A and B are shown apart, each in its own frame.
Chain A
């Protein structure tokens, strides 16, 4: 069965960096676009970034553009999110999500999420 397991969350000071990972299994990872989505405490869901199956297309939310970098290693079935210059408003649960096809379709599977807390 499809599994998406996020890791790498934790408490980090403002201005510092953190790298999230999402380990995928149960499907042919290289065939699907992958997204990061976040949810701040008490807030709604916010789309963060997407990478196409082969990594050639990438899009970011304006709120993270220039600070976050999405990447993937299709040989290791892993998605990453490098987060630099972190701000208090980046505090959220971060989910990775698998598209139903391509990279501009909705999600059929989500991970359980990993919590990132940006605080001094």
Chain B
């Protein structure tokens, strides 16, 4: 089973900041990594696919990087509406596994 370690667990940012969230896999998963945003009481929203591809309709301030075991979600010029819970998902092998998530607060 591939374990995903996500950091930080919580962060507080100021509008306009650049934010990086890390997701590390316990084994090589190529680029089989997706990122999601979730707000309380809502379904997760798909924001990055295959590690680096921005999902259509998602603002370009979101970006993804990485391959193999180390991945990063970057939010440039963060906005208040980006306050949410972010998590990673690996779909390289079963069982699919998830990172424990990062709560992003906007000051």
* Same assembly: yes
Q: Which residues, 37 to 72 on B, are CB-close (under 8 Å) to A? A: 42-44, 46, 49, 55
Given contacts A104-B91, A107-B34, contact A46 B98 (CB under 8 A): yes
B87 and A106 form a contact (CB under 8 A): no
Q: Which residues, 65 to 107 on B, are CB-close (under 8 Å) to A? A: 87, 89, 91, 94-101
Q: How far is the CA of A110 from the CA of B41 in the complex (A)?
A: 13
Query: How many residues does chain A have at the interface if contact means C-beta atoms less than 8 Å apart?
Result: 23
Q: How far is the CA of A46 from the CA of B94 in the complex (A)?
A: 12
Residue of A nearest to B32 (CB): A106
Q: How far is the CA of A59 from the CA of B89 in the complex (A)?
A: 17
Given contacts A44-B100, A44-B101, A45-B87, contact A108 B94 (CB under 8 A): no
17 residue pairs of the A-B complex, CB under 8 angstroms, read A45-B87, A47-B94, A47-B97, A50-B94, A61-B95, A105-B91, A106-B34, A106-B46, A106-B49, A106-B89, A106-B91, A106-B96, A107-B34, A108-B49, A109-B43, A109-B46, A110-B44
Query: Other CB < 8 Å A-B pairs besides A45-B87, A107-B46, A112-B42, 7 of them?
Result: A46-B98, A47-B97, A50-B94, A59-B94, A105-B91, A106-B34, A111-B43
Top 10 A-B pairs, shortest CB-CB distance: A106-B34, A45-B98, A47-B96, A110-B43, A106-B91, A44-B100, A108-B46, A110-B44, A47-B95, A59-B94
